[in-house]
Amino acid sequence: MKSFPAAAFASAYRAYLAERFPPALNGLAIFLLYSCTLTAAQRMLGLGHASWPAYLCGYLWVLGVFYHLRVLDDLKDRNDDVKAYPGRVLSRGLVTYTQLAWTGLIAVLAETAIASAFGPKILALHLGTLAYSLLMYKEFFVRDWLKAHLFLYGVSHMLILAFVDFTILQMASPSGGLVRIPGFFLFAFLGFSMTFSLEVSRKIRVAAVERPEVDTYSKVIGIGPSLFLVLAFQAAVMILAWFLRAHLGLPLWFHGAALGTWLFVASVYAAWGRRLTEPHSRKLDKVASLFYLQFYLCLLGILLWRK
């Protein structure tokens, strides 16, 4: 029996999401990032919790931004991905790139509507974030140069996470002027460092599986330095959290717990890094995400308890 076009697309689109933007995993990770950032802003400003409609709208805005970034990235890397990953849903044409672009446009329109509901300040920040994401899509019009400088490429692309975090922080006080307290900038770059660590961890490969079409940190700077870079960004998270301790009322045990998790990640990386195998290389991002989960779960618990 033939399936209807809409049903066929829905099935293929679910397969695309499972492959490139797993709803449960991304939903949880974005929930933790958003909830911690918003609650931290409320704590720093001495405000109460946002209403449930405002909280939900803010979460949907962040979810939409991350989704449209995923779409733009897949559209941008179309030619390389078709060669490097012929088995992917997009490469096989089960979901066409035109169909994917339409889903990204719908996400952007929804984000813009949500930002407009928050008021002019959040709308302006949203439009700035959107404009930056489009510059990322165009590789800032210096694609070849950026490709030759992978670390700067990563910084230029991951910087949008600082913009996203800063917008969430402003959602705690959506009316009035831009809040410019030091804690907001520190927290925005905490989120940038955290997500950058995960980005590096998922771009580390053993030599046998490196692909010429795919840029990885291990290919450019080596496996050992790449593992060190992941740990360095997570160490930066702990340093920024230490400077934020008074702003957020963080107890010493929180910093100790973060350090303990970081030491665990470092010990695993040290053990695997001596002779990294392909199975272990596929788990590096999962090991790094333990720090992400522990840090944000504990932080959210403290912020809600102190409220």
The number of residues making up the chain comes to: 307
pLDDT at 68: 97
| CA-based end-to-end distance of the chain | 57
Angle between helices 5-20 and 97-118 (to 10 degrees): 70
Separation CA 255–CA 242 (nearest Å): 7
pLDDT at 1: 41
pLDDT at 2: 47
Query: Per-residue pLDDT for 305 more than 70?
Result: yes
Separation CA 307–CA 301 (nearest Å): 10
SS3 sequence of 67-109: HHHHHHHHHHCHHHHHHHCCCCCCCCCCCCHHHHHHHHHHHHH
pLDDT at 176: 86
Q: Side chain identity at 290, as an amino acid letter?
A: L
pLDDT at 4: 55
Separation CA 170–CA 120 (nearest Å): 12
* Per-residue b or e along 97-116, where b marks 16 or more CB atoms closer than 10 Å to that residue's CB: eeebeebbeebbebbbebbe
- The mean predicted confidence, pLDDT, of the chain is 94
Cα 154 to chain center, whole Å? 12
Residue with tokens 């049903």: 7
Mean pLDDT of 186-193: 96
Q: What is the pLDDT of residues 270-299, one digit of tens each?
A: 999 989 999 999 999 999 999 999 999 999
184 vs 210, higher pLDDT: 184
Separation CA 214–CA 83 (nearest Å): 10
Mean pLDDT of 211-220: 88
Q: Nearest to residue 171, comparing CAs of 12, 27, 24, 45?
A: 45
CB 66 within 8 A of CB 195: no
Predicted confidence band of residue 210 (pLDDT cuts 50, 70, 90): confident
Q: Nearest to residue 108, comparing CAs of 156, 157, 75?
A: 75
Predicted confidence band of residue 92 (pLDDT cuts 50, 70, 90): very high
Separation CA 201–CA 33 (nearest Å): 18
pLDDT at 39: 97
CB 202 within 8 A of CB 289: no
pLDDT at 307: 60
